[in-house]
Amino acid sequence: DALAQARPGVGQGHHAHNLLKGGEQSIERLLPGITAEMFARGAVPYRTGFDLRVYDDGQWLPRRDLGYTNIAASRPLIESTVLARLLREPNVHMRSDTVVEDYSYDEHDQVNGVSIRTPNGSPEVLHADLVVDCTGRASHLQESLAAHGYDNPPQYKINMGLSYTSAVFEAPEGCLDTK
């Protein structure tokens, strides 16, 4: 499944991922049955605080069954399951080999869609009530808005001093005991 492969440029794409309960509930409300689809494709339920062991500051934290489960899966599995489900919706269409060149603006300089270049090279405008730019650092949104007289929004950066790493390893003898 080509959709279930890690994408280049996604820094945590190869890490193990947890779909936390709030995210699961939100996605399930929008796409009923999606968690069952994730399990069918290999996602694993785990009891939070009990099935997942945490080693912090030189010690294993005590096991506690917090009374609910989360979903463990690769990021590509979560993303590809949601995408495959969205593409089954009658009002969702995906265009391949299409480049978004700019945002389109109405006569009042309000964003009303995107200007694209189709696979055969012809320009086209796709009108929309809502445009969401998910391109991350590669986005040209600020330049486009500035060209239409908008000021850049203020940016706030907070260094939390946090990072994370994941690895596959063999658990030490006894750490998975249920005591």
pLDDT for 43 equals 94
pLDDT for 86 equals 93
Average pLDDT over residues 159-175: 75
Minimum mean pLDDT among 99-103, 139-143, 167-171: which range?
167-171
pLDDT for 177 equals 62
Phi and psi at residue 101, in whole multiples of 5°?
-95, -30
What tens digit of pLDDT does each residue of 103-148 get?
898 998 888 999 999 999 999 999 998 888 887 777 888 888 888 8
pLDDT for 138 equals 79
Strands 44-47 vs 69-74: parallel, antiparallel or unpaired: antiparallel
How many whole angstroms separate alpha carbon 146 and alpha carbon 149?
Answer: 5
Residues 6+ apart with CB under 8 A from 83: 3
Specify the higher pLDDT residue, 50 or 88.
88
Q: What is the dihedral of CA 130, 93, 20, 137, to 10 degrees?
A: -60
How many whole angstroms separate alpha carbon 75 and alpha carbon 81?
Answer: 10
What tens digit of pLDDT does each residue of 25-70 get?
999 999 999 999 999 999 999 988 888 777 788 888 888 888 889 9
For the chain, state the CA radius of gyration.
22
Contacts 24+ apart (CB under 8 A), 142-145: 144/102, 144/103, 145/103
pLDDT for 23 equals 92
Q: How many CB atoms lie within 10 A of CB 85?
A: 18
Q: Which residue has the tokens 């959709």?
A: 3
pLDDT for 13 equals 75
pLDDT band at 75 (very low <50, low <70, confident <90, very high): confident
- Flag whether pLDDT at 3 surpasses 70: no
Average pLDDT over residues 95-107: 88
Average pLDDT over residues 75-83: 91
- Where are the extended beta strands (E) located within the chain? 16-19, 44-47, 55-56, 59-60, 69-74, 99-105, 111-117, 123-127
How many whole angstroms separate alpha carbon 80 and alpha carbon 13?
Answer: 12
